[in-house]
């Protein structure tokens, strides 16, 4: 898939999880000079004071005069000894005079305006920049967005948390009107502990899009990127030419996608247009999810209101089924068509997904029949079996989403009766045996939707991932789970616990077919086996073992019907599944 289209889909699908890392190149078309251009201009000023003419090469004049290479930090430090003096010198490079203002110079560019538009729509929340200028702030203010700006430690202390701010701009080298700007070599070698901690969090928790930053000179910023070991979302590294070796090293560390662009203006304008186009295509219908969830919450607390909850959920279920059945499954597939189909399924199911999550989290056992009825209708809605195999497999994607979402919500709230309801009591057609119904937990799982890992990697933009489908679902569902599971750590645990449980449930549905001496049995694999290789004590395998040892027959999943309510049964299943997992080679 074209990297630009891939980026647009990723940004649209993962709203607010991509941070920008912007360098001087972003302000190039505004007439804001780069650091090197400032160096050359400062050299011309030095030469003029000396009464010399630099000719066509200020750099050569400097080397001949001072017998050393020109260095931005050295020159600036020689001219201005204090931060205040440096700030005054730099002011003329970043603020337009009257003539420049009339000509549109040193004013927000197409890139700044496109970024501001994406911020206002909620697609970008965090911007890290090495620039001193205020063009981005101006572009945002022009459309009614007031960003939280952090340019020093004092700003951090009083700043609104990133998660609650519409937009946070982190100016790692300061602001040109602040005397604490960083621009000499020694100043750029390290950041304060507070800035480091903030950047560590951003680079760990957000995807990254770099533009206008070479990656060559900013040692402290490079160090922040280098020490970040986890990469939850893809990094896109844009460049107008082949990146330097230092940049390539960072690209390798982040496992980044290289994207060649003509300039920052055309890149961000194109990105904005593509993301907005996707937003228009996949708009949810008039009754917003928030309103629907509010209605559900008001009524699910009272068993007497079952009819209201039932009608709300089933009305939405019918709408989803009617939209999904319209999709053609005879097309010749490619990566773009597959991704488009996935996005259409996600758009169609958005409101039902929100209802399912909140229903399984807050709903008592007396409401379980509603989730069974809904997921069964979604799973059995489209029985077409002729057409493109890949698109036929994707028919089960909406049911897979509901199974994951409802299962994770049930585990997070310890409402295991809802997990039992949607994974075991709910039935759908058995792929293995025509005209036979089987539990959804046995028939619908990650690789029943994508039968080839390589296809899933490309379509979902999850290349070089051990478990691309699980990783994609983890990131996709995170947005919807944020309200009921605010902490990322708790969400990760619930997600991984669910994937382990669904593996056990899959094998449990085949329990009667176990063969004597069969020590290892295949089950669906999520991301948990590789994720906890170096921290096995936190793995769901270990947690389930500890819970069984401690609680025995009182273990909640058993009390709510899972594994036929028998401790010996789940231990037998677990032993065989764990034995199979040991054989999987992740390296």
Contact between 207 and 18 under an 8 Å Cβ cutoff? The reply is yes
**pTM score over 0.85:** no
Q: In CATH, which of 3.40.50.620, 3.40.50.300, 2.60.40.650, 3.40.50.1220 is domain 3-30+109-279? A: 3.40.50.1220
Q: What is the pLDDT of residue 185?
A: 65
Tell me which DSSP letter residue 244 carries: P
Residue corresponding to tokens 């939405």: 316
Contact between 38 and 72 under an 8 Å Cβ cutoff? The reply is yes
Measured distance CA(282)–CA(148) in Å, rounded: 30
Measured distance CA(195)–CA(217) in Å, rounded: 18
Contact between 405 and 353 under an 8 Å Cβ cutoff? The reply is yes
Measured distance CA(541)–CA(535) in Å, rounded: 11
**For the chain, what are the domain ranges?**
3-30+109-279, 35-102, 287-511
Tell me which DSSP letter residue 104 carries: T
Structure tokens at 468: 């691309």
Any alpha helices (H) in 367-467, and if so which ranges?
A: 368-380, 389-394, 397-413, 416-420, 440-443, 446-449, 453-459
**Count of CB atoms within 10 A of residue 401's CB?**
25
Q: What is the pLDDT of residue 79?
A: 84
| DSSP secondary structure string for all residues of 47-86 | HHHHT---TT-HHHHHHHHHSS---HHHHHHHH--SHHHH
**Count of CB atoms within 10 A of residue 535's CB?**
9
Structure tokens at 412: 């997070």
Show Cβ contacts of residue 342 under 8 Å, excluding neighbours closer than 6 positions.
394, 397, 459, 460
Angle in degrees, 0-180, between the axes of helices 468-481 and 397-413, rounded to the nearest 10: 60
Measured distance CA(467)–CA(374) in Å, rounded: 28
Q: What is the pLDDT of residue 287?
A: 55
Long-range contacts of 261-264 (CB under 8 A, 24+ apart): 261/211, 263/28, 263/29, 264/25, 264/26, 264/28, 264/29, 264/109, 264/111, 264/211, 264/212
Contact between 234 and 43 under an 8 Å Cβ cutoff? The reply is no
Question: pLDDT tens digits for the chain (587 residues)?
Answer: 567 888 898 899 888 999 999 998 898 888 887 666 777 888 998 999 888 888 888 989 999 899 988 876 678 778 887 777 877 787 788 888 788 887 888 899 999 999 999 999 999 999 999 988 899 999 999 998 999 999 888 888 878 888 888 999 999 988 876 656 676 566 778 888 999 999 999 999 899 999 999 888 788 999 999 998 877 788 999 999 998 898 899 999 888 889 999 999 999 999 999 998 888 777 655 557 888 898 899 899 888 889 999 999 999 999 999 999 988 887 777 777 888 889 999 999 999 999 999 999 999 999 999 999 999 999 998 887 777 888 888 999 999 999 999 999 999 999 999 999 999 999 998 776 667 889 999 999 988 888 777 777 878 877 778 888 999 999 999 999 999 999 999 999 999 999 999 999 999 988 777 766 677 788 888 898 888 888 888 899 999 999 999 999 999 999 999 999 999 999 999 998 999 888 887 64
Q: What is the pLDDT of residue 587?
A: 47
Residue corresponding to tokens 């929100």: 354
């Amino acid at each position: 898939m074209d990297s630009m289209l891939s980026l647009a889909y990723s940004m649209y699908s993962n709203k607010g999880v991509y941070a920008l890392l912007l360098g001087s190149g972003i302000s190039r078309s505004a007439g804001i000079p780069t650091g090197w251009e400032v160096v050359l201009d400062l050299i011309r000023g030095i030469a003029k004071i000396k009464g010399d003419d630099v000719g066509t090469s200020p750099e050569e004049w400097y080397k001949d005069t001072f017998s050393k290479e020109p260095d931005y930090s050295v020159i600036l430090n020689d001219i201005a000894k204090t931060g205040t003096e440096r700030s005054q010198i730099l002011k003329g490079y970043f603020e337009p005079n009257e003539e420049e203002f009339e000509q549109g110079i040193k004013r927000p560019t197409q890139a700044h305006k496109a970024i501001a538009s994406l911020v206002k729509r909620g697609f970008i929340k965090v911007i890290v920049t090495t620039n001193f200028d205020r063009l981005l702030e101006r572009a945002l203010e022009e459309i009614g967005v007031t960003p939280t700006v952090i340019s020093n430690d004092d700003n951090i202390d009083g700043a609104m948390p990133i998660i609650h701010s519409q937009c946070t701009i982190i100016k790692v080298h300061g602001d040109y009107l602040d005397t604490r700007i960083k621009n000499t070599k020694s100043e750029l070698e390290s950041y304060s502990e507070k800035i480091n901690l903030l950047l560590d969090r951003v680079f760990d928790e957000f995807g990254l899009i770099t533009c206008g930053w070479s990656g060559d000179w900013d040692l402290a910023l490079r160090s922040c990127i280098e020490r970040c070991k986890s990469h939850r979302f893809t990094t896109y590294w844009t460049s107008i030419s082949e990146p330097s070796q230092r940049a390539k090293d960072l690209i390798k560390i982040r496992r980044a996608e290289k994207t060649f662009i003509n300039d920052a203006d055309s890149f961000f304008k194109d990105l904005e247009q593509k993301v907005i186009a996707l937003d228009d295509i996949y708009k949810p219908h008039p009754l917003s999810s928030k309103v629907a969830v509010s209605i559900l919450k008001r009524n699910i607390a009272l068993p007497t209101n079952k009819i209201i909850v039932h009608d709300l959920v089933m009305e939405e279920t019918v709408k989803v089924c009617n939209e999904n059945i319209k999709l053609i499954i005879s097309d010749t597939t490619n990566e773009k068509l597959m991704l488009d189909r996935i996005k259409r399924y996600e758009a169609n199911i958005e409101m039902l997904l929100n209802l399912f999550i909140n229903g399984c989290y807050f709903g008592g056992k007396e409401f379980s029949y509603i989730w069974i009825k809904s997921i069964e209708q979604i799973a059995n809605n489209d029985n077409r079996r002729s057409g493109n195999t890949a698109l036929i497999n994707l028919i089960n994607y909406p049911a897979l989403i509901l199974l994951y979402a409802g299962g994770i919500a049930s585990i997070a709230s310890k409402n295991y009766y809802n997990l039992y309801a949607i994974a075991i009591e709910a039935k759908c057609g058995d792929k293995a045996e025509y005209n036979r119904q089987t539990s959804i937990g046995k028939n619908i799982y990650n690789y029943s939707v994508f039968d080839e890992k390589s296809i899933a990697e490309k379509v979902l933009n999850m290349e070089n991932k051990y478990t691309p489908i699980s990783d994609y679902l983890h990131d996709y569902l995170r947005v919807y789970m944020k309200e009921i599971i605010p902490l990322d750590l708790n969400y990760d645990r619930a997600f991984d616990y669910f994937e382990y449980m669904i593996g056990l449930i899959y094998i449990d549905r085949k329990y009667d077919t176990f063969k004597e001496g069969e020590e290892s049995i295949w089950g669906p694999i999520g991301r948990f086996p590789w994720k906890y290789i170096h921290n096995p004590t936190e793995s769901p395998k270990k947690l389930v073992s500890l819970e069984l040892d401690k609680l025995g027959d009182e273990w909640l999943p058993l009390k709510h019907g899972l594994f036929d309510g028998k401790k010996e049964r789940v231990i037998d299943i677990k032993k065989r599944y764990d034995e199979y997992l040991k054989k999987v080679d992740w390296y």
